Structure 1
Amino acid sequence: MHADEAQPPLPPENRLAMPTQSLSTWTAADRAAARARAASGSPWLARLFVFGGALALTIYGAREMYFVVSVSRTTPLQYVLLALFVVNFSWIALAFTSGVLGFARSIVPRRAVPREDGPLATRTAIVMPVYNELTARTFAAVEAIRDSVEATGHGEAFDYFILSDSTNPDAWLAEERAFHALRERIGPHARLYYRHREKNHHRKAGNIADFVTRWGGAYEQMLVLDADSLMTGECILGLMRAMEADPKAGIIQTLPMLVNRNTLLARLQQFAGRMAGPVIATGLDAWSGRSGNYWGHNAIIRTRAFADHCGLPDLKGKPPFGGHVLSHDFVEAALIRRGGWSVYMLPHLAGSYEESPPSLIDLAVRDRRWCQGNLQHSRIIGARGLKLATRQHFATGIMAYLASPFWLMQLVVGIALVLQTTYIRPEYFSGDFDLFPAWPRFDPERALWLFALTMGILLAPKLFGLLLMIFDGKTRRASGGAIRLVFSFLIEILLSALLAPIQMLVQSGSVFQILIGRDTGWNPQRRDDGSIPLGDIVRRHRWHTALGVVAGVSAFMIATSLFLWMSPTILGLVLAIPLSWLSGSLAAGLALKRLGLLVTPEESSPPPIVTEANVLQTRNAERGFDDQDALLVLHGDPELRACHEAMLPHRSHRHRGEFDPDRVMAEAKIIDAVTIEEAVAWLKPKERMVVLNDRALLSLAMRLPAEVAAAA
C-alpha cells in the first residue's frame, strides 16, 4: 500500500451542478436552446420503411386473421382473438422491418473509417459502478481494460474510477483490498481511484450522479461500464475519437458482444446475440438516427451535457411505478436528446464485450428488474419535449414485457374458442330470430398460412444474421463452418422454442406482480458458471410443470388437433424443471462446444483482453479477498485498518436525542463481547456496515482481543 502515498484514493473534487429535470414542463426557451445545438437531418426514409412497412404488414395480417375467423358470423370471443392477434403481430412486424433494414445496411460495404493517430484533446473518466460483486472479477476487468488502453499509447488521457455501492461489509472491504493491491502493482501513477457510498441512494443512477456532481467537472467525457464489461483500448479510443469529432454528440453507444460463459443458456445467448445482434442493432441505428437509445454501459457520454439534462426526478407514488427511476438509462438518453444532444450507436465498432446470466433462473431474476423498470416508463413516455423516436424506444421496452401476457391471453382465448365449438351446443333459435346459429368457425387453410407467415416474420432477423455469418468467410470459419452454423441455428431455434413458454409465464407473472404493486428490489447478479440446486429449480418451476400437464391433458380431451397445435408450448412447460436445470449446466454447454456447435468467433478465438481478464481473475481469486470476513481482516492488519479509516468520509455529529438503532445495537454487542470473533458472530450485516463506517465503533471493536490472545 506504499504506492498510495504518491496519490490519494480520490482526486480533488471538481464539481458539476446536476439539476433535477422536469417531466411535465418544457419551455419555449428550452426548446430554442435544444434546437440551436441539435444536429440537422433525420432518417425519415428509413423510418418510413420500418414503420410504414410494419403498418402494411399488420394491416395484411389483420385482414387475413379476420378472414380466418369470419367464415360465418363472427362471435365476440373471435373479435377478442382478432384484437390480441393484431397487437402481437404488429410487435413482431416492427422487429421484422427493422431487421430487413439492418440486413440491407449490413450487406452494403461500409466506408473505411480513417484512422487517426494524433493526440487526444480531451480527458475521459472510465467509471465502473459495482454493487456486492466479486472483486476477483471486477478488478481483473479494470486492470485488463487499463492495460489495453495503455497499449494504444494514449493512456494519459484516461482516469479510472471504481464506484462502489456495496452493502455487504465483506464485499466492501474486499474491494478496498483489491484496490490497494492493484494500485501497488501498477505504481505511483496509476490514475486509479475508488469511492464507496455509505447509502446507495437511487442505486446505479445515483452512483453515477454522485460521481458527476463531485468529479465530473474534470472530464469532458465519461465511459460507463458494468461490472461484467470489457472494452479494448482500440474500441475506447474509437469512441473518444468519435466524440471529439462530433461536438453535438451526447451519448455514443457500442454493441457489446456476449463472451466468456460456458453454461448451455449462456452459450445459447452468446450465439443468438452474435448471430442476430448486429442485424438488429444496425436496423435500430438506421431508423433511430440521432435519437438513439442508451443501455446503461459500454458507452461514452459527454459529461457536462449529462449533468445539465440527466438529473432524474423521483416519480410520484410508491414503487413499482413510483419512486426513483429504476431503468434509468432509457430516461437519460431521452432527456439528453430532449436537450438537443445526439444519441446514437456505432454498431460495427468492435471490441465491446459483456457477459450473460448463466441459467434460466438467473435470467428471470434480472428480467424481473428490467420488467419493472420498463413498465415504469409508462409514467415517463408522455413527458414534455421528448422526440418521437425516443417515445418509440420507451414503447418498445414496455411492449417487450407486455407481449408475454398478450400472447398468453391469445392462447387462452384460442383454447376457449376450441372448447366452445367442442362442448357448447349452438342456440339455433336466439332472440334475434337468426336463421343460423352464432357459432365460431375458422378457415383452417388460411389459418395455417397465417401461422407460417407469423413464424417467418418472427425468425427472419435470426435468419438474416445466419446468412451474414455464412457469407463472411472469416466469421464462418471462426464459427465452425457453414454446416455447423446451420446446425447451431437449428439448435438455437429448438431450445428457444422450448424455453419460450416458460419465459412467457415468468414474464406474465412479473407483469402481474408489478400491476398489483409488488416492488422487485435490486439484487446483485450471479455472474459465474455455477449451477442452481435442484430443489430451488423444482420450487421455481413446479407450477409451470403442473400447468403444462393440465394444459396437455385438457387439450387432448378437447381435440387432438388442439393438442398438436399446442404441443410446443405444452412440451416446454412439462419439461420446465429439466430444461431449467439443463440451462445452467456446464457439462451440456461444453459438450456442444466440443462438437463445434453454438460457437462464436469470440469463443473460438478469444480476444486478448478476454484472455487476460480471465488470467487476472484467477490470480485475484487466489488472494482470497472475497472469502474473508471484513472485521477479522481489519483486526489482524493495522496498516489496512489505517487505510480504511483514511478513506471514510467525515461524519457530521448526530443531534441530541437522535439514535440510529443499528449503531446502538452494534455498540452494545461490541461492549458485551469478550473477543472479536464473538462480536463478529453477534453483529448482523447492517450493524457490521455501521461499524465499518464509524471510526469510533471500529476502534472499539478493534480493541477486542482475538480468541487465541484471550485464551492465553
Structure 2
Amino acid sequence: MTDTAEIDPRPAPAAEPGAPERPGPVSPAMPPRAPLAMPVQDLRRAMPATRRGGGGPLAARLFVFGGAAALTAYGAWQMYEVISVSGGATWLQYVLLVLFVLNFSWIALAFTAALLGFAALVRGGRETPLPATLTGRTAIVMPVYNEGSARVFAGLQAMHEAVEATGLGRHFDWFVLSDSTQADAWIAEERAFLRLREELGPHARLHYRHRAKNHHRKAGNIADFVTGWGAAYDHMLVLDADSLLTGTCIVRLAAAMEADPSAGIVQSLPLIINRNTLFARLQQFAARIYGPVIATGLSVWSGRDGNYWGHNAIIRMQAFAEAAGLPDLKGRPPFGGHILSHDFVEAALIRRAGWGVTMLPHLEGSYEESPPSLIDLAVRDRRWAQGNLQHARVIGAAGLAAASRQHFATGIAGYVASPLWLAQLVIGIIIVLQTAWVRPEYFSAEFGLYPVWPRFDPVRALQLFALTMGILLAPKFLGLVLALLDSGTRRACGGAGRLTLSFLIEILLSALIAPIAMVVQSGSVFQILAGRDTGWNPQRRDDGSIPFSDIVRRHRWHTGLGIVTGIAAFAIATSLFLWMSPTILGLVLAIPLSWASGQLALGLALKARGLLVTPEEQAPPAIALRAGELARRNAARGFDDADALQALQADAALAQAHAAMLPPHTPHPRGQIDPDHALARAKIVEAETLPEAQAWLGPKERFALLHDRALLDQLTRLRAA
C-alpha cells in the first residue's frame, strides 16, 4: 500500500537530455484508497442465495454423468467377467476390480464430457460483437511474485496499447500487485513501472503496489487489493504474470459481465503460445487441438455452475467481496491453514451466494504460457496436488451447488488417480506372481468344493483393454477430427498429413511420459498425506534447460524402479513383461526423456519440419508479436540483471520514488526485534562503501533494508567504491 497523503501528486520535471537524474516530486503509485469490506466466509453455514438461477442444462448433465455411470457399470461387469472365469475370484482380484472401477469412472466421465463438447463445437459457436461503449470501470490486476520485469511489463504494455486501440481504454485501470520477496526483483519491478508510466503518460492509469509480506500468497494479494481499492471498481480482470489478452478479448469480457447482472465470474479459455522446448510444444499442441473439446463440454454441462482457473477471467467486484473471503482451514499444512488452490473455492463460494460462474470457450484472444520441462511441471504440480487434495476439507461446505462439489471431486481425482493407477499395477503383478508361484486359495468369498485359482479370461481382458484405451484417447481423437474438418486449422498445422503425424508424436511421447508423471504424482500425494507442506516457489517461465546433474538426481529412482520392475516382470512371465512394457519403458527412459523435454533444439527442430505446430505460430497474434518486441527492448535495459542496492545508490530519483511507494512506517511492539532488520541496520551503519554493504548484507537483510527509509538514506550516502 502507498500512503498517498504523503506524496506530492505533481509529476516530476523532465531532466535535460544527458543530465544526471535528480530528485523531484513523485507521483503516487496507487490511486486514493477506496476500501471495500470482504468478510471471511463460514464454510459451515450457507449464505442466502437470492440470485441463484438455473445451473446447467439437465439434458447435458444426464448425458455426461448418466453416460459415464453406464460406461463404468459396463466396464465393471466386463472386468468381473475377466477375473471370474473360474467361477469365482480371490480377494486380491476383488481389490483389482475396485481399483479398475475407480480409474475407469474417471476416464469415462472425461469421455462423455468430450463427446458433449465435440457435438457443441460441430454445431459451431459465435463471437459476441465488440461493444460500442461500456458503462462500468474495470481494474486489470496482475499479481507478480519474483518474476522477470522485462516480460511482465512487456505483456502489460502490449495489452494496454491494445485496449486503448479499441477506443474504450478509459474504462480500465491497470495494476501490478507485487508480492516479490527478492530485493533485486522488487527494485527491477519499480524501475520498469516508473519507466513504463513515463512512456505512457499521466493518463495511462497504470499503478503499482508492493506488499511487505506475502500473507496468504496470491489469494491474499488479490484480497488486499479488493479491501483497499475495490470500491472504486465494478469488476476486476485477474491476470497471471504470463497472461496475454487482446484488447478485443478484454473488452468483450467486460461487455459479457455488463450484459449479465447476475454474473459473478466470466472465465475465458486461455491457449498456450510462445513455447519452444519439446515438452512445452507438446503441451501447446495438445491444448490447442484437444483443449477446446474438453473445455466446451465442461462449459455446456456446467452452465452457470462453472469453475474458475485463477486468471484470464473477469470478476464482479461486489460478488467477490461479499462471497469470496477465504477462511483458514483448521489444523496445520498441508491440509490446514491457508487454502492453496483458492480459485476453485472462490468460484464455489461466489456460486453459493447466487452469482453465476460461466465460461466463454468460443472467446478468442486469451493466451498464457506453460512450464518448459517435465521437472518444471512437476514442481508446479506438487503445489497443485496439495491444493487440490486440500479441497477434501472444503467439498462438504454448506450450501455449495452440486456442480461445485463435482469440480472439487474432479480436481481431487486428478491427483488420486496416479496412486490408484500405481496400486492397480502393483496388485496386477502380485496376482500374476500368485498364479505362478503361490498355492491356490481354498477359502474364497463364495464356498466351493474346489480351490479358486486366480485366473483371467485373456480374450475379454484384451477387449476390455481396447475399450479402456479407446475411451482414454477418444477426447484426443475428437480434437483431431475437428482440426481436420476445419480447413483453416488444418492448413495452419501443416496440412492433414503433418497434423496427423503431430498427433501421433504427441500420443507416443505422452504415453512414455505418463508413467513418470504417475510415479511423481504418487510421490507428491504420499508426501502430502504424510504431512509435508510444499511451500510456494516462483515458477520458471523461460526456455532454459535444467542441468543434467539435476535431472539425474530427480529421476534416478524412477529409472531404478523401471529396471527392477522390468526384470521382475520378465522373470514372472513374458506376457506380464509385454503387458507392462509401456510403463517399464517410460520409467527406464525417465532421465533421457526428462532431459529431452527441456531441450529447445528438439522443439525447434520439430517446428522447422512443421510438426507440433499450432495456428497461432503460423499466424502469430499481433499482441504476442508486440509483447515479444517490448520484452526484448526491456531486457536490453538490464533492470532484471541489476543489483538493487547499486541501482538505488546510483540513482537518487529512484531511491526517492522507492521510498515514496513504501507504506507508512508502523512501529513494532516494544521488545519484539526483527533480526533481519536489526542486522541490516548494524551492517549498513558499519559499511563505508557500497561494495562492503553488498558483501555483508544477506538476501533477507537486503529486503529489510528496502523497507526502511532511514536505512535507504544511509545507503545513498555510501561511497560508490
Alignment TM class, shorter chain as reference:
over 0.9
CA displacement, residues 433-457 of structure 1 (integer Å, 9 cap, x when unaligned): 9532221000000000000000000
Whether contact under 8 Å (1:292, 1:344) holds in the other structure is: yes
State the Cα deviation string for residues 110-165 of structure 1 (Å, max 9, x = none).
3x455254221111010000000000100000001101111111111110000000
Instruction: Report the CA distance between 1:6 and its aligned residue.
Output: 8.6
Equivalent AA in structure 2 for residue 100 of structure 1: L
TM-score, normalization: structure 1? 0.97
- 1:541-560 to structure 2, matched below 5 A, reads 541-560=555-574
**CA shift in 2, pair 1:40/1:66, >3 Å:** closer
Please name the residue that 2:263 is paired with: 249
Residue 452 (structure 1) aligned with residue 466 (structure 2): yes
Q: 1:682 aligns with which of 696, 712, 715?
A: 696
- Residue from 11, 18, 39 that aligns with 2:31: 11
Deviation at 1:428, TM superposition (A): 6.8
Residue 111 of structure 2: aligned partner: 96
Mind listing any 5+ residue stretches in structure 2 that lack a counterpart? Answer: 1-11, 15-23
Contact 2:127/2:362, CA 8 A, preserved across alignment = no
Residue 39 of structure 1 and its aligned partner are, at CA, apart by 2.7
Q: AA paired with 1:79? A: Y
Q: 2:45 aligns with which of 10, 21, 25?
A: 25
Measured in 2, the distance between the counterparts of 1:275 and 1:265 equals 16
Question: Equivalents in 2 of 1:271, 1:437: separation in Å?
Answer: 53
Question: What does 1:573-652 correspond to in 2, within 5 Å?
Answer: 573-652=587-666
Question: Which whole-Å CA distance do the structure 2 matches of 1:699 and 1:641 have between them?
Answer: 8
8 Å CA contact 1:235, 1:350 repeated in 2: yes
CA separation in 2, counterparts of 1:599 and 1:56?
37
**What is the alpha-carbon distance in structure 2 between the residues aligned to residue 223 and residue 664 of structure 1?**
40
Cα displacement (A) at 1:2: 4.7
Name the structure 1 match of 2:5: none
SS at the partner of 1:194? strand
1:79 and 2:94 are equivalent in the alignment: yes
Aligned partners of 1:116, 1:574: CA distance in 2, in Å? Answer: 53
Alignment of 1:175 onto 2:195: no
Cα separation, 2, equivalents of 1:278 and 1:232: 19
Give 1:431 deviation, angstroms.
13
Alignment of 1:31-50 (within 5 A): 31=48, 34=49, 36-40=50-54, 42-50=56-64
Q: Residue in 2 aligned with 1:706? A: 720
- Alpha-carbon displacement from aligned partner over 1:601-621 (angstroms, at most 9, x marks no partner): 011111000111111100000
Q: Secondary structure at the match of 2:129?
A: coil
Q: Secondary structure of 2:367's match?
A: strand
Q: Quick check: 1:387 aligned with 2:407?
A: no
**Paired residue for 1:509?**
523
Q: TM-score, normalised by structure 2?
A: 0.95
CA distance in 1, matches of 2:482, 2:463: 27
Per the TM alignment, residue 268 of structure 1 is displaced from its structure 2 partner at its CA by: 0.3
Structure 1 counterpart of 2:3: none
Match of 2:487 in 1: 473
Indicate whether 1:571 and 2:569 are aligned: no
Matching residue of 1:710: none
Change (3 A) 1:372 1:550: same
CA distance in 1, matches of 2:537, 2:670: 35
Deviations 1:514-540 (A, max 9, x none): 000000000000000110000000000
Secondary structure of 2:33's counterpart equals coil
Return closer, same or farther for 1:465/1:650 CA change in 2, 3 Å cut-off.
same
CA 580–650 in structure 1, closer or farther in 2 if over 3 Å, else same? same
Q: Using the TM superposition, give the Cα deviation of residue 261 of structure 1 relative to its aligned residue in structure 2, in angstroms.
A: 1.0
| Equivalence map 1:661-672=2 (5 Å) | 661-672=675-686
How far apart, in 1, do the equivalents of 2:560 and 2:473 lie?
29
Which residue of 1 is the match for residue 539 of structure 2? 525
Letter of the structure 2 residue corresponding to residue 64 of structure 1: Q
Out of 290, 302, 305, the position equivalent to 1:276 is: 290
Distance 1:468 1:383 in 2: 39
Asked if 1 retains the 8 angstrom alpha-carbon contact of 2:89 and 2:444, the reply is no
Deviation at 1:663, TM superposition (A): 1.1
Q: Do the aligned residues in 1 keep the contact of 2:139 with 2:172 (CA within 8 Å)?
A: yes
* CA positional deviation for 1:5: 6.1
Could you tell which deviates more after superposition, 433-442 or 89-98? 433-442
The answer to whether the 8 Å contact 1:320/1:514 transfers is: yes
CA-to-aligned-CA distance 1:13-71 (integer Å, 9 cap, x gap): 11100000000112xxx32xx1x322346411100000000000000000000000001
Structure 2 counterparts to residues 76-225 of structure 1, below 5 A: 76-110=91-125, 112-113=126-127, 115-225=129-239
For 1:318, which of 332, 349, 354 is the aligned residue? 332
- Residue 671 of structure 1 and its aligned partner are, at CA, apart by 2.3
What are the equivalent positions in structure 2 for 1:399-414 lying under 5 Å apart? Answer: 399-414=413-428
The CA RMSD measured in Å over matched residues stands at 1.5
Quick check: 1:7–1:188 contact (8 Å CA) kept in 2?
A: no
The answer (yes or no) to whether the contact 2:26–2:657 under 8 Å persists in 1 is no
Supply the AA of the counterpart residue of 1:86: V
Residues 106, 279 of structure 1: 8 Å contact kept: yes
Tell me the distance in 2 between the aligned counterparts of 1:684 and 1:675: 16
Give the drift of 1:688. Answer: 0.6
Name the amino acid aligned to 2:353: G
Q: Within 1, Cα distance between the matches of 2:213 and 2:297?
A: 40
1:255–1:281 Cα contact (<8 Å) kept: yes
Query: Deviations for 1:689-712, whole angstroms, at most 9, x for unmatched residues?
Result: 1100011122223222222xxxxx
SS at 1:496's partner residue? helix
- Give the letter for the 2:451 counterpart: P
Conservation of the 8 A alpha-carbon contact between 2:278 and 2:599: yes
Judged with a 3 Å threshold, the aligned counterparts in structure 2 of structure 1 residues 657 and 114 are, in CA distance, closer, same or farther, namely closer
Is the 8 Å Cα contact of residues 127 and 223 (structure 1) preserved in structure 2? yes
Task: Tell me the CA shift for residue 550 of structure 1.
Answer: 0.3
Separation (CA, whole Å) in 2 of partners of 1:454 and 1:701: 66
Deviations 1:210-252 (A, max 9, x none): 1111111111010000000000001011111111110000000
Partner of 2:21: none
> Residue 28 of structure 2 aligns to which amino acid in structure 1?
P
Q: Deviations over 1:152-198 (max 9, x none)?
A: 11111110000000000000000000000101111121110000000
Q: Does 1:340 align with 2:350?
A: no
Q: Is the 8 A contact 1:2 1:184 kept in 2?
A: no
Match of 1:562 among 571, 576, 580: 576
Please say if residues 6 and 188 of structure 1, whose CA atoms lie closer than 8 Å, have aligned partners that are also in contact.
Answer: no
Report the equivalent of 2:364. Answer: 350
Is the 2:64–2:113 Cα contact (8 Å) retained in structure 1? yes
| One-letter code aligned to 1:706 | A
- 1:228, 1:476 → 2: CA distance? 27
Q: Distance in 2 between matches of 1:115 and 1:558?
A: 64
Quickly say closer, same or farther: Cα 1:482–1:677, change in 2 above 3 A. same
Q: Is the contact between residue 69 and residue 442 of structure 1 (CA under 8 Å) also seen in structure 2?
A: yes
- 1:354-403 deviation line (CA, Å, top 9, x unaligned): 00000000000000000000000000000000000000000000000000
Q: Kindly state the Cα deviation for residue 677 of structure 1 after the two structures are TM-superposed.
A: 1.2
Give 1:84's aligned amino acid.
Answer: L
Question: Deviation digits for residues 279-299 of structure 1, max 9, x if unmatched?
Answer: 001000011010000000000
Query: Which residue identity does 1:613 align to in structure 2?
Result: A
Aligned length: 700
In structure 2, distance between residues paired with 1:158 and 1:142: 13
